[in-house]
Amino acid sequence: MKIEALAIASVNTIFKALLSLNTVYVLTGLVLLVFAALNFKDRSNKHRNGTALFWFILGLIFILGSVLPHWATGLLVLLMVVIDGVGRVGHKRTDEVTKSGQVEQKVRSLGNQIFLVVLTIPFVTFAFAIAFRLLGLNTNDGAIVGLGFSGIVAIAVGLALTRGTLSEAFQEGRRLNDAMGAVNILPPLLASLGIIFTASKIGDLIAAGIHKIIPGQNLFLLIIANCLGMALFTMVMGNSFAAFPVIAAGVLVPLIVKPFGVNPALVAIITLTAGSTGTLMTPMAANFNIVPTALLDMRDQYGVIKYQAPFALTILAFHVIVMWLLIRMF
Amino acid sequence: MVELFKLSGIAIVIIGLAFRLRTTLVVVTAGLVTGLIAGLPLFSGEGIFQGLPLITKPGQEGIINMLGRAFADNRLMILFIITLPAIGLAERYGLQEQAASLVRRMKAATVGRLLVVYQLFRILMGILGIRLSGHPAFVRPLVFPMSLGAAEATARAKTVESLPAAEVEQIKAANSASENYGNFYGQNLSPVLPGILLVYGVMKGLGYTVNLWSLVLFAIPIVVISVILGAIQFWLLDLKERRRLAAKH
């Protein structure tokens, strides 16, 4: 009996260790190392060394991030930023999917089945979250671990369906990764900026400034300041992801979440989309607002922004109302 | 006054991005400058850095340490990298073409209705966690020609040239708007896309662990409102066209 219990316990431990965030980080790191190697072998890329080194370092951070001392990780991040800063992360324009006649034939026969490959990703993510919940574990971890494993499962599903090769999968994965380039690392970099801003008490400074304009504890006015501030700051930065850490640290948390004890998930996501309304109104978000006017050969460079502005201002007002109402309800 | 200098980090970001410098470099420079002005040390005074003057201060976390800690903690925001081989494989075997053929099969009598359907299609892609480069891959080659086709049919015009130029410009703008509305708000309906993961990571850094699924849940009301407002705006586009035609006859 005792041995049996022990066996179950150790199986349990192995199971938990295998299905942990760390495993997923290591797997992602390995994928990045493959991308780095493929870039290094690609003699047609004149920045192949810098590009390969960039993805190699990111892979290393993924694999060792939990055990490296923070200062070492910090220096590695700085090194990546320098490599990108001097323009050594490049790729040749391979936006077009490489195709042979044979592949095209398969494409026709696969039809809508090809969606199964990408649908595997949310499906596995969801399944892991549910499984973690049933096992009494954290559903957040479930979703994140699930997302990691979904990538592996989706490759398997893809290979089975298309009868393609693993090398094709990694070549195409590398093509997508290179197309996004160094901006891939922006979300965690921006989160780091938010943390440094918080430690430098920038948040308190902004919060104090807003308190000078809005004295007292008027939740409704603070919600207006929060949503409007997020939209304006996004317009200036051209990117709601960049604005969010600053607004969250400077307005949302110190002025709304902390003093009023409101549901942080509720106000956080509505603050992010308030930023999206800003994105609709700014030429700084060129990919969404200016590039399309060129693609469609429009006479007015700001035609898209002008068309979107009434929508954006209306939905911004709704952000204030919805946030206020939902705070009342939850 | 010294307090206000701390805001120079924000100024660096704004100016750096306005001059289109490398975003990664701008962001990290802003962090370093802000931290130094606020009097933070470069490194924590532990391990090999113990007791080093100038670059450490007793009991304070260094800026480089913060950068490393925050970056490592927030690796989860870019976990989607592990899905790239599978998505790339699917693209090689016709994912984009198949999505395009779905768009091509959208049947709508008017431009406005077509754009409502396209916005919903974009939201569906968001729910499924599928990222598309909508403007070059879908709007320009597919939705825009389909819109023109619908407009010609409504106006019983033989060619695009017979449509008033101002109307064609409006249709172009509305096409791009439909893509943006669907993409921006729809992507928050999937916990595997970076928006939700960014909010999760930032809030965690500020001391609030929020549930990924409640983030998705609380995103729904705004998505619904975006669909309604989009539908109203596209319906007005149709209305204007009908009025123009009625005035002509």
For range B13-25, the mean pLDDT: 84
Mark which of A92, A116, A137 sits at the end of a domain. Answer: A92
Residues with Cβ within 8 Å of residue A278, at least 6 apart in sequence: A230, A231, A232, A233, A234, A235, A240, A243, A312
Residue A158 lies in a domain: yes
**Whether residues A294 and A249 fall in one domain:** yes
For range A30-35, the mean pLDDT: 97
Q: Which residues of chain A from 153 to 192 reach within 8 Å of chain B, CB to CB?
A: 154-155, 157-159, 161-162, 164, 168-177, 182-192
**Whether residues A217 and A121 fall in one domain:** no
B235 touches chain A (CB under 8 A): no
A62 touches chain B (CB under 8 A): yes
What letter would DSSP give residue A98? P
Domain that holds residue A265: 201-329
Q: According to the model, what pLDDT value does residue A95 have?
A: 46
Q: According to the model, what pLDDT value does residue A303 have?
A: 95
**Whether residues A86 and A106 fall in one domain:** no
Residue A134 lies in a domain: yes
CA B213 to CA B225: how far, in whole Å?
20
**Whether residues A70 and A106 fall in one domain:** no
* CA B62 to mean position of chain CA atoms: 33
Residue A259 lies in a domain: yes
CB atoms within 10 A of CB A266: 23
Mark which of A75, A92, A109 sits at the end of a domain. Answer: A92
**Whether residues A210 and A323 fall in one domain:** yes
Residue A133 lies in a domain: yes
Residue A176 lies in a domain: no
In this predicted structure, which of A136-140, B61-65, B69-73 has the lowest mean pLDDT?
Answer: A136-140
In this predicted structure, which of A61-65, A142-146, A319-323 has the lowest mean pLDDT?
Answer: A142-146
Q: Is the pLDDT of residue B80 over 50?
A: yes
**Whether residues A116 and A65 fall in one domain:** no
H helices of B74-186, in order, are 84-92, 95-104, 111-127, 134, 144-155, 165-186
Q: According to the model, what pLDDT value does residue B157 have?
A: 65
Distant-in-sequence contacts of A316-321, Cβ < 8 A, 24+ apart? A316/A227, A316/A228, A316/A231, A316/A274, A316/A277, A318/B222, A318/B225, A318/B229, A319/A227, A319/A270, A319/A273, A319/A274, A319/A277, A319/B222, A320/A220, A320/A223, A320/A224, A320/A227
Question: A5 versus A154: which is more confidently predicted?
Answer: A154
Question: A296 versus A236: which is more confidently predicted?
Answer: A296
State how many domains chain A has.
3
Mark which of A137, A164, A191 sits at the end of a domain. Answer: A164
Residue A177 lies in a domain: no
**Whether residues A205 and A323 fall in one domain:** yes
Residue A209 lies in a domain: yes
**Whether residues A219 and A303 fall in one domain:** yes
**Whether residues A69 and A121 fall in one domain:** no
**Whether residues A63 and A125 fall in one domain:** no
Residue-wise pLDDT tens digits, A173-212: 999 899 888 888 988 998 888 888 888 888 788 888 888 8
Residue A189 lies in a domain: no
Cβ-contact B223, A315 below 8 angstroms:
no
H helices of A111-251, in order, are 114-134, 139-162, 166-180, 186-199, 202-213, 219-237, 240-247
A143 touches chain B (CB under 8 A): yes
In angstroms, the separation between the Cα of residue B164 and the nearest Cα of chain A is 14
Average pLDDT, chain B: 88
**Whether residues A145 and A257 fall in one domain:** no
**Whether residues A306 and A250 fall in one domain:** yes
